[in-house]
A and B are shown apart, each in its own frame.
Chain A
């Protein structure tokens, strides 16, 4: 048995996966810290630094009308009179061109460049905060999407402007309670072109004419939805744009002199009408500014900006309307809108220089705050920016209104350069996909999957053929992996890929010559046979991966996984029957007995196994169906009611229903404990006095009782027992903490002493017949083991006779490996259940039953197939089923791959007062979210042991005729001790196969995110799915290693135990 190489190899494979995931995610997810400070009127941002009430001055405009046309691309807004045959989207907005040419001092049309991600919600955040929102704005609470950062809507509200909003209801969720009056319309249905627009048009003109508003935001969605539905090159787009033309005309007619009109698109669209990415077609929208009073000093000049970044709108609007610039803004004011020099006595407000100075000071303040909070801006560029600012500051303070225009111009340009530099630095840090990193991550992930697959295929041959073959590649691989990880994380991506490739090739070469390719014909046959057997599980796994590429399937994932699980589960008996294994073979006298094949199993056993198989299939199907009733609902799923079991008891009103739920949960909990204990007792694992047995005997039931009490305490409605309130409060803290401690202690005991074997000495001739006690012990095992050990190790001392010695009985030796594993599973399950709502106990029980059903199906199939002895390898089908079941119960424990469905309550179990750190609550929430992944990963090695555990059943059921072979059959898991080589290779194969199945799912989800990064649903469906899938993989792989580690630890303990026994025996 090789322990260290297996662990090292697995660790290395996992590390490879982690590196791939890390690289991809760091290239794909853009992270930014939110600064939760707000600007105020009395900030010292004034020109010259003297204190003055900023908001008190008379602003240039009293009111503004923000007309947002979603996805108004700049191509839509341009007008080309020479174009005689315009496409449906061309030349449909002539009003813009007419106005800019007829009234050049009143209006301008600019291309308006958005920053990726170009999705509506991120864009609204962008042009209201003036910042560059990324996918994850850390500090944002996931539960609601409200903008907590300082923004222009908030600032307008602060200075007393009356805000009115109509249109896309995204605004309502982003700015709850900020608007005086708001008329949101549903934006979710992409096929609906008119509801939002018509809703706005009903109210827009009447509101405009009225005098009860200062800032009016109208967000039209029709153009965007038309793009999504038909694409830009469609007559419907022409109609929609013509309608928008009419709207703009009508609005301009009704404008008053103190009002600024802003018509803008929040992003563009590709030729197919999609957006979300960073191509120029998606980022370039249109910006049209108009006012009935002259807005610009003159007609467009050379100094006009060619393209206006979207962030520039915020400071411009803020200064034009006399509000402070929002704190996190990194945009710069749009200079043409400000007069070059201060005009005395006019209402023009700030001059160019003053406006820029206010802007520069605000941006510098933000930069200081941000860099003190986060370290992601490179220090050298930060230092350069600081130096630039101090130069500017001294230059500005030195300048006076009387200084020459040339020096002023120079100062203006320097300030602009500073603002642009800050913006570019921030953008480089936050707002750019890193395609190299993404590609490298993808490649490494794919390589890791391939490598895992190759190792799993090769490990079988390794066990049979190569001794010591494994150590060389493992050692080198470990060395390489360290280099690889270091290189990847620190320096450069290309080198990393190269290293991975070389390692891969190297390993391949190491393993290759003898074991990779089938050498003999028998092996070739085996190979092709396994390839043939591979097909349907591969198909199902492929379907599962393909389903991750479609948003509809991701939304319906819980049902899709159950469907696939049932299909593959039903396939197992169908396939066995098709091959004629399920019916006892008819007697066929003509057929000569096959010499090579093992003898077919006896008909009675086959019949019994097929009944077991069918019964377990029924259990599996029933469990899977019942588990559907524990699902939660996504917001995309229209007609769906979340499971009633998901709400905690404390929230339930009806007391009878509450009692019923409590009783049901208690019953499930009791059954969970009882089943585990019964199994352990059945195989004689409860007789010894070691740590593991202590945990099984006392910790398990005690924890269950404590859990039941805890539910009762937390379920009592508040204020029902007034005099006991303090006691209840204390119990709410003490009980879960005591449970954590108890379970932790039990797990530690289990790890320290995993042996559950009880030794009993008795006289040589006395005792009960082995048949009678077979249920509880396997007496002959030890005899056999001792004999075989002596044969191998003590050849010299073989003179003594066996019969004269006292016989020794060893209870629980047959399940020495699976018992601690199962026990750990049970303990973990109780701990995880503690973090869930009470009703989930039923779901956990279903999980246990389904696990047992899968294990029995696997064991029966193996028994019926009657593989040659010593072949412990687990085929793909049960592993794919195992992985599917773990995803299925992710959903059936009330979880969903969305951020809003994370059960935050788990962080407060045992800590009702909250936490001081972030690590502990994060761990608790992660444990809660991935509980099914954890349980299935820890229990994965059981797939290897279960056919052996079920073996005793086969021997005992054989009846009297098989009595002679009883001793042969009842060896159970000691078979693994007999073939340590096969054991290690089978364990390695099992783990790598499971990792492969999980890794391919991660790969598919990563591919979905990479390929569909322009998809409408990328931030809503695919990215959350990607994050949940990768986190699930991390947790699964870690706990798989824990499971494998426990098995290896047990093996070590068993080896020691045998040695001690032999020693004692020899010394006697």
Chain B
């Protein structure tokens, strides 16, 4: 799994090395900088390069966030009587679809996902099949967990499963996009020293935020306020989406402010 990230980092490193050499040559040409300034310059350049990754992440996150926004707004234009509470499942599916499609597209275009060692069609197919299987399993897993946490078992099974699908699209799909269908890698990412790139860190943050959001979303359900958003599973799905959006915003910012502490070692 990590070979992909290693590759990506090598690529970046190579690129930054090139740029560094460019800057060195620039320095030699001008010859007017002091040694100190040169170091500072290179450091600044390194930060800019570092920032390059963060910028890519920020823009991709912005795209994903706007897709959630569009998935809420656009159907309201086309479909009569569409609302987040009233036709909640519809909204949920539209968000799920939008997030899935945009996530896959963004990560495919960025090339974050694991480059295949074998480029054969059969291998690709088996990866695809495995990914689909993981998605399905993750839906079932989330469904079970949500039921164990107290969701009704039979009555609103469709709603519960829709929530599980939403959670899958917010968490598992992203894992798949970043790490590929490799459960070992997924398990390892979620530990203190498990992240091996900024993308792994952002994955940690967004997944944690979505799950915590869904968890917090369960809190208002027992209250007797009789609000439309207290109906199962509106508050939980809203909570997870809000948590996800928070994660999308927080991840680049957090990485930006902690960039000095973050050291990734490749395996």
Q: Are A580 and B222 in contact (CB under 8 A)?
A: no
A528-566 interface (Cβ within 8 A of B): 550-553, 555-556, 559-560, 562-563, 566
- Which residues of chain B are near A559, meaning CB under 8 Å? 150, 222
- Which residues of chain B are near A698, meaning CB under 8 Å? none
Expressed in whole angstroms, the minimum distance between the Cβ of B117 and any Cβ of chain A is: 22
Of B192, B222, B223, the residue contacting A579 (CB under 8 A) is B192
- Spot the interface stretch: B58-66, B183-191, B255-263: B183-191
- Which residues of chain A are near B191, meaning CB under 8 Å? 577-580, 583
- Which residues of chain A are near B192, meaning CB under 8 Å? 578-580
- Which residues of chain B are near A625, meaning CB under 8 Å? 147-148
**A552-B222, A552-B223, A580-B191 in contact; A567/B150 too (CB < 8 A)?**
no
A-B contact count (CB 8 A): 41
Q: Does A621 contact B (CB under 8 A)?
A: yes
Of B148, B190, B215, B218, the residue contacting A578 (CB under 8 A) is B190
- Which residues of chain B are near A555, meaning CB under 8 Å? 222
CA distance A1060 to B150 in the complex (A): 56
A912-947 interface (Cβ within 8 A of B): none
Q: Does A805 contact B (CB under 8 A)?
A: no
CA distance A562 to B148 in the complex (A): 10
**A552-B223, A559-B150, A621-B148 in contact; A583/B187 too (CB < 8 A)?**
yes
Expressed in whole angstroms, the minimum distance between the Cβ of A589 and any Cβ of chain B is: 13
Of B149, B215, B222, the residue contacting A553 (CB under 8 A) is B222
Q: Are B190 and A556 in contact (CB under 8 A)?
A: no
CA distance A426 to B177 in the complex (A): 76
Q: Does B193 contact A (CB under 8 A)?
A: yes
Q: Does A191 contact B (CB under 8 A)?
A: yes
CA distance A580 to B192 in the complex (A): 7
B198-226 interface (Cβ within 8 A of A): 215, 218, 222-224, 226
CA distance A70 to B192 in the complex (A): 61
Of A552, A580, A628, the residue contacting B150 (CB under 8 A) is A628
- Which residues of chain B are near A560, meaning CB under 8 Å? 222
CA distance A958 to B60 in the complex (A): 49
Q: Are A566 and B148 in contact (CB under 8 A)?
A: yes
Q: Are A550 and B223 in contact (CB under 8 A)?
A: yes
Of A562, A563, A574, A580, the residue contacting B193 (CB under 8 A) is A580
Expressed in whole angstroms, the minimum distance between the Cβ of B246 and any Cβ of chain A is: 18
Q: Are A577 and B190 in contact (CB under 8 A)?
A: yes
Expressed in whole angstroms, the minimum distance between the Cβ of A779 and any Cβ of chain B is: 41
Q: Are B222 and A556 in contact (CB under 8 A)?
A: yes
**Chain B interface, DSSP helix/strand/loop, else mixed:** loop
CA distance A559 to B147 in the complex (A): 12
Expressed in whole angstroms, the minimum distance between the Cβ of B188 and any Cβ of chain A is: 7
- Which residues of chain A are near B215, meaning CB under 8 Å? 567
CA distance A628 to B148 in the complex (A): 10
CA distance A628 to B150 in the complex (A): 9
Best-surrounded residue of A551, A567, A578 (most CB of chain B within 10 A): A578
Q: Are B150 and A562 in contact (CB under 8 A)?
A: yes
**A577-B191, A579-B192, A580-B191 in contact; A563/B218 too (CB < 8 A)?**
yes
Of A552, A563, A578, the residue contacting B224 (CB under 8 A) is A552
Q: Are B187 and A566 in contact (CB under 8 A)?
A: no
- Which residues of chain B are near A624, meaning CB under 8 Å? 148
Expressed in whole angstroms, the minimum distance between the Cβ of B37 and any Cβ of chain A is: 35
- Which residues of chain A are near B218, meaning CB under 8 Å? 563
Of B150, B188, B226, the residue contacting A563 (CB under 8 A) is B150
- Which residues of chain A are near B148, meaning CB under 8 Å? 566, 621, 624-625
Expressed in whole angstroms, the minimum distance between the Cβ of A570 and any Cβ of chain B is: 9
- Which residues of chain A are near B149, meaning CB under 8 Å? 563, 566
CA distance A22 to B215 in the complex (A): 38
- Which residues of chain B are near A562, meaning CB under 8 Å? 150
Expressed in whole angstroms, the minimum distance between the Cβ of A237 and any Cβ of chain B is: 21
Chain B, residue nearest A624 (CB):
B148
CA distance A563 to B188 in the complex (A): 27
Expressed in whole angstroms, the minimum distance between the Cβ of B236 and any Cβ of chain A is: 12
Expressed in whole angstroms, the minimum distance between the Cβ of A631 and any Cβ of chain B is: 11
CA distance A566 to B147 in the complex (A): 12
CA distance A625 to B148 in the complex (A): 6
Chain B, residue nearest A576 (CB):
B191
Expressed in whole angstroms, the minimum distance between the Cβ of A914 and any Cβ of chain B is: 40
CA distance A992 to B43 in the complex (A): 54
Expressed in whole angstroms, the minimum distance between the Cβ of B197 and any Cβ of chain A is: 18
- Which residues of chain B are near A577, meaning CB under 8 Å? 187, 190-191
- Which residues of chain A are near B224, meaning CB under 8 Å? 551-552
B36-91 interface (Cβ within 8 A of A): none
- Which residues of chain A are near B190, meaning CB under 8 Å? 574, 577-578
Q: Are A191 and B226 in contact (CB under 8 A)?
A: yes
- Which residues of chain A are near B194, meaning CB under 8 Å? 580
Chain B, residue nearest A553 (CB):
B222
- Which residues of chain B are near A550, meaning CB under 8 Å? 223
* Proximity string of chain B (132-154) to chain A, C-beta cutoff 8 Å, 1 when within and 0 when not: 00000000000000011110000
Q: Are A583 and B188 in contact (CB under 8 A)?
A: yes
CA distance A577 to B186 in the complex (A): 12
- Which residues of chain A are near B226, meaning CB under 8 Å? 191
* Proximity string of chain A (398-412) to chain B, C-beta cutoff 8 Å, 1 when within and 0 when not: 000000000000000
- Which residues of chain B are near A628, meaning CB under 8 Å? 150
Chain A, residue nearest B221 (CB):
A556
CA distance A553 to B223 in the complex (A): 7
CA distance A625 to B149 in the complex (A): 8
- Which residues of chain A are near B193, meaning CB under 8 Å? 580
- Which residues of chain B are near A579, meaning CB under 8 Å? 191-192
Expressed in whole angstroms, the minimum distance between the Cβ of A887 and any Cβ of chain B is: 15
* Proximity string of chain A (570-587) to chain B, C-beta cutoff 8 Å, 1 when within and 0 when not: 000010011110010000
CA distance A47 to B66 in the complex (A): 89
Chain A, residue nearest B194 (CB):
A580
Expressed in whole angstroms, the minimum distance between the Cβ of B249 and any Cβ of chain A is: 22
* Proximity string of chain B (218-242) to chain A, C-beta cutoff 8 Å, 1 when within and 0 when not: 1000111010000000000000000
Chain A, residue nearest B188 (CB):
A583
Chain A, residue nearest B226 (CB):
A191
CA distance A552 to B222 in the complex (A): 6
* Proximity string of chain B (160-195) to chain A, C-beta cutoff 8 Å, 1 when within and 0 when not: 000000000000000000000000000110111110
- Which residues of chain B are near A563, meaning CB under 8 Å? 149-150, 218
Chain B, residue nearest A557 (CB):
B222
- Which residues of chain A are near B150, meaning CB under 8 Å? 559, 562-563, 628
- Which residues of chain B are near A191, meaning CB under 8 Å? 226
CA distance A567 to B211 in the complex (A): 12
A579-602 interface (Cβ within 8 A of B): 579-580, 583
- Which residues of chain B are near A556, meaning CB under 8 Å? 222
CA distance A583 to B194 in the complex (A): 11
Chain B, residue nearest A582 (CB):
B191
Expressed in whole angstroms, the minimum distance between the Cβ of A548 and any Cβ of chain B is: 13
CA distance A562 to B151 in the complex (A): 12
Expressed in whole angstroms, the minimum distance between the Cβ of B150 and any Cβ of chain A is: 5
Given contacts A566-B148, A580-B193, 10 further A-B contacts (CB under 8 A): A555-B222, A559-B222, A563-B218, A567-B215, A578-B191, A579-B191, A580-B191, A583-B191, A625-B147, A628-B150
Q: Which 6 A-B pairs have the closest CB atoms?
A: A556-B222, A552-B223, A552-B224, A552-B222, A580-B191, A625-B148
Interface residues in chain B, defined as those with a beta carbon under 8 Å from any beta carbon in chain A: 147-150, 187-188, 190-194, 215, 218, 222-224, 226
A–B pairs, 8, beta carbons within 8 Å: A552-B222, A553-B222, A553-B223, A559-B150, A563-B150, A577-B187, A583-B187, A624-B148
